[in-house]
Amino acid sequence: MRSIASKHAVLFPRLRVACLLVLALGMTLPLTAQAPQAAGTVGSDASQAKKKEPIQFKARSVQSVLAKGKERTVLIGSVTITMGSLTILADRVELSGDDYKDVLCMGNVKVNDTDKGFSLASDRLRYDRDTETGVAQGKVFVDDTKNSTQINAEWVRFDQAESIFEAAISVVVVKEDLSVRAEYAKFNRNTEEMELRGGVVAITEDGTLTGEAITGNAGASDMEVSGMVSGTIKPKETTKQE
């Protein structure tokens, strides 16, 4: 993606120098409070808008587009942004939209939410601060420490408010003694209800089960298989007595 450097930035040399100086000193700024005014726009009505956490950031450099209605801030190099309990690391982050609600992260993306109890690694992430949802793409790995569950896929959507993960394309879900492969998975972190579709293969210590779809509670190992079903059951090992 092209580096964004607006011709409007030259009209505000003092602002640009101040931003670079702040970053060089390793300070953090609450963008939701300061950036809209600096860009010459009016922030959203606090009485109507959903309260959002301020964005604290660090980066090696910053570029800004200050044209009214097209405000955008680009953070480049070893970027760290923090929004409440959510921390995101990336090579490059673009902040845009009303009150900087759209967060686009690229390159070596790492997400950690200490309150929700999960972390994520991917090549690319788009996060919406209004809906508290994110879509990760590339080689995506999710570690749900709350439920001792790991997810590998090429596409993952997470909803912080609803505590739901959706994964698609070459999905692998691992939970304790259960390993499942599928093309789509939906996991409710609160109830541990799981839905898997598309060439599902479930492997446990008791055997292997395949089907078109598997649903149920992963925590209770209470799963229902639909479609054409096949599988193998391993016999229990017995100890020979002399």
Strand partners, 137: 124, 155
Contact yes or no for 85/132 (Cβ under 8 A): no
Confidence of residue 68 (pLDDT cuts 50, 70, 90): confident
- The domain spans of the chain are 1-42+52-96+103-115, 123-233
When pLDDT is averaged across residues 213-219 and rounded to a whole number, the result is: 80
On the CB side of 78, CA atoms within 13 Å amount to: 7
Mean pLDDT for all residues in the chain: 77
Report whether pLDDT(10) > 50: no
* Confidence (pLDDT) at 177: 80
pLDDT tens for residues 123-148?
Answer: 999 999 999 999 999 999 999 999 99
Residues 6 or more apart whose Cβ sits within 8 Å of residue 89: 78, 79, 80, 108, 109, 110
What is the pTM (predicted TM-score) of this model? 0.72
In this predicted structure, the answer to whether residue 38 has a pLDDT above a threshold of 60 is no
For 215-233, b/e burial (b = at least 16 CB within 10 A) is: bbebbeeebebeeeeeeee
Q: What is the rounded distance in angstroms from the CA atom of residue 16 to the CA atom of residue 165?
A: 39
Do 94 and 126 contact (CB within 8 A), yes or no? no
Residue 45 is predicted with a pLDDT of 40
Confidence of residue 228 (pLDDT cuts 50, 70, 90): low
Question: What's the average model confidence in pLDDT over 86-97?
Answer: 96
- Average pLDDT (39-61) is 61
Closest CA to 46 of 58, 33, 55, 37: 33
The pLDDT confidence band at residue 33, using thresholds 50, 70 and 90, is very low
Q: Give the C-alpha separation, 119 to 236, whole Å.
A: 37
- Can you give the pLDDT at residue 50? 57
- % of the chain beyond a pLDDT of 70: 69
| pLDDT on residue 182 | 95
pLDDT at 218: 72
Q: Tell me the range of 11-25, 61-75, 169-183 where mean pLDDT is highest.
A: 169-183
* CA pair distance 21, 16, nearest whole angstrom: 9
Give dist(CA 58, CA 81) in Å, integer: 7
User: Residue-wise over 29-49: b if at least 16 C-beta within 10 A, else e?
Assistant: bebbeebbebbebeebeeeee
- Give me the architecture of the 123-233 domain, per CATH: Sandwich (2.60)
Q: How confident is the model at residue 209 (pLDDT cuts 50, 70, 90)?
A: confident
Pairing of strands 61-65, 193-204: unpaired
